[in-house]
Structure 1
Amino acid sequence: MNTLVILSHPNLSESGSQQFLINAVEAYEQVTVHHLESQYPDGKIDPQAEHELLKRHQRIIFQFPFYWYSSPSLLKEWQDVVFGGEDFYRQQGTILKGKEFGLVLSVGVSEKEYQAGGREAYTMDELTRPYQAIARHMEMIYLPCFGIHQFAYQSEAKRKQLLIDYQYYLTGRQPASLEHRTNWLVNELRTTNLESLPMELSDKIEAIAVDLKDRQEVLADLKDTLAEF
C-alpha cells in the first residue's frame, strides 16, 4: 500500500505538529509526503505531474491545518486545477476509483468542542462534508477523519500515542480493527532494527511481539468458536 500525503501548510517550518508528523513517517518508503507550498512556491500547479502521483498511490491523504473550517488556499487551488480534467468525470469511473481517501487535520480547539452544544457546534464529520462528497464523486473509499487537537498542549504520553496512530493511519490496513492493528504492530516490532538497541530493550521488544502473536492466535480461535454458534 503506497500512501500519498498531500500536505498544505504555508509556514511548514514553524509548525510543530506538522514537523512531528513528517518525522513520524520519514522512515516509511511507501509513504510520500508532498508539500504543495514547497513544490509550487509560485502557486502554478502542474496537473499532469499531480495526476501521475495520484496514479502511483493507493491511499490519498489531504493533510492540513483546519483554517476556518476549510483548507489553506493552495490546496483548494490544487483541487480546482488537478480535478478539472476529464479523468475525473468519466462514466466508467475516475482514475481514483477504488483508492482510499482520508483527512489529517490539525486543529487548535479541543475535540469536545466539535459537537452540538460545544463551542464549534458541529462535528468534524459535518464540517468536512465537501471532502466526503469528493470521495463519493471519485468513487473512492472514504476513511474516518484523523483529527489532531491542540498539539501544543499534548503530554509526552499522548504524543507517543499520536505517533503510533498516525503511522497506522498512513500505512495500516483499513478499517482499523483489532486484528488489523495487531498484525500491523507485530510487523512493526518484528521489522525494528534490534541490533541498534540495548540488549535488554531488544529482548523486551521481541517478547512483546511474541506475546501479541500468541494473543492474536487465541482471539482467532475464539472468533472461529463464535462463528460455529
Structure 2
Amino acid sequence: MKTLVIISHPNINESSSQQFLIQSFPQSEKITMHHLEGTYPDGQIDVKREQALLKEYDRILFQFPFYWYSSPPLLKHWFDEVLEEHFAFGYRGNKLHGKEFGLILVVGVGEKEYQTGGQEGFSISELTKPYQAIAKKIGMQYLKPLTIFQFPYMKEAQKMQLLIKYQQWVMMEKPDSLKAREVWIVNQLEETSHDTLDADESSFILDQAIEIIEDNRIELDELRMHIDNNDQ
C-alpha cells in the first residue's frame, strides 16, 4: 500500500506538534509527505499535478491543525480545486474510488472537551462529518481519524506513544485494528537491531511496546463489556 500524507499548516516551522510529526515520519519509498503551503506559497494550486499525485497512492491522509473545527484555508482551497467533477465525482469521476481517506488532526484543547458535557459540545466524529461526506461522495473509504490533543502538554512517554501511533497510522493497512497494531509493534521490535541501541533505549522501547499492548487489551475488554451489557 502506498500512502500520501498531505500536510496543511501556514506556519509549520513554528509548530512544535507538526515538527514532531515530521521528525517521526517513517522512511519508506511507499510513503510520501506533501506540504501544501511549502509547495504552493502563492496559493496557486497545480490541479493536474495534484490529481496525478492522488492517482499514484492507495491511502490519502490529511494532516492539519483543527482550526475552528475545520482546516487551514489552503487545504480547503485544495479540496475545492482538486476534487473536481469528472475526476473525483460525476460522469467518469471515479479516479479515487476504493482509495482510503484519513485525517490526522492536531487539537489545542483536551479530549474530554469533545465528549458529552464538554465545553465544545460536539464529538470529533460529529465535527468531521463534512470530511466523511467528501469521502463518501468521491467513493473513498473513510478511516477513523488520528486525533492529537494538547501536544505541548504531553510528557516524553506520551510523545513516544504518539510517535508509535503516528507511524502505525501512516504505515499499517489497518491502523484501527488492535491485533494489527500488536503485530506491527512486534515486527518493529524484531527489525530493530540491538546493536544500534544502548540498554536504556532498548528497555524504554520495550516498556512502551508492552504498555501499548496492555492498553489494547484494556480497550478490547471494555468493548467486550459494552457488547455484553447491550445484549442483556
TM-score with structure 1 setting the length: 0.83
The CA deviation at 1:26 is: 4.3
1:114-125 map, 5 Å? 114-125=114-125
Aligned to 1:170: 170
Query: Residues of 2 paired with 1:205 and 1:149: CA distance?
Result: 22
Q: Is the Cα contact below 8 Å between 2:4 and 2:57 reproduced in 1?
A: yes
3-state secondary structure, aligned to 1:86: coil
Q: Are positions 1:74 and 2:106 aligned together?
A: no
Query: Residues of 2 paired with 1:161 and 1:30: CA distance?
Result: 23
The CA deviation at 1:68 is: 0.6
Q: Is the Cα contact below 8 Å between 1:93 and 1:139 reproduced in 2?
A: no
3-state secondary structure, aligned to 2:87: helix
The CA deviation at 1:173 is: 2.2
Q: Structure 2: which 5+ residue stretches go unaligned?
A: 214-232
Query: Residues of 2 paired with 1:64 and 1:201: CA distance?
Result: 31
The CA deviation at 1:93 is: 5.8
RMSD across aligned positions (CA):
2.4
AA at the equivalent of 1:33: M
The CA deviation at 1:29 is: 3.0
Q: Percent identity?
A: 52
Q: Residue 124 and residue 155 in structure 1: after superposition, are their counterparts in 2 closer, same or farther (change >3 A)?
A: same
Q: Is the Cα contact below 8 Å between 1:195 and 1:202 reproduced in 2?
A: no
Q: Residue 164 and residue 46 in structure 1: after superposition, are their counterparts in 2 closer, same or farther (change >3 A)?
A: same
TM-score with structure 2 setting the length: 0.82
Query: Residues of 1 paired with 2:202 and 2:118: CA distance?
Result: 46
Q: Is the Cα contact below 8 Å between 2:2 and 2:57 reproduced in 1?
A: yes
Query: Residues of 1 paired with 2:75 and 2:199: CA distance?
Result: 46
Aligned to 2:58: 58
What per-residue deviation string (whole Å, max 9, x for no partner) do you get for residues 128-154 of structure 1?
110000110111111111111100001
Aligned to 2:112: 112
Which shifted more, 191-200 or 90-99? 191-200
Q: Residue 191 and residue 21 in structure 1: after superposition, are their counterparts in 2 closer, same or farther (change >3 A)?
A: same
3-state secondary structure, aligned to 1:109: coil
In our comparison, the structure showing a higher alpha carbon Rg is 1
Q: Structure 1: which 5+ residue stretches go unaligned?
A: 213-229
Which shifted more, 168-177 or 13-22? 168-177
The CA deviation at 1:42 is: 0.6
3-state secondary structure, aligned to 1:88: coil
What per-residue deviation string (whole Å, max 9, x for no partner) do you get for residues 174-225 of structure 1?
153232112212222222244323479679989xx9xx9xxxxxxxxxxxxx
Query: Residues of 2 paired with 1:111 and 1:138: CA distance?
Result: 30
3-state secondary structure, aligned to 2:102: strand
1:91-110 map, 5 Å? 94-110=94-110
Q: Residue 148 and residue 35 in structure 1: after superposition, are their counterparts in 2 closer, same or farther (change >3 A)?
A: same
1:129-140 map, 5 Å? 129-140=129-140
Aligned to 1:216: none
Q: Is the Cα contact below 8 Å between 2:97 and 2:138 reproduced in 1?
A: yes
Aligned to 1:21: 21
The CA deviation at 1:92 is: 5.7
AA at the equivalent of 1:157: A
AA at the equivalent of 2:105: L
What per-residue deviation string (whole Å, max 9, x for no partner) do you get for residues 49-89 of structure 1?
11111111111011100111110000001011101241112
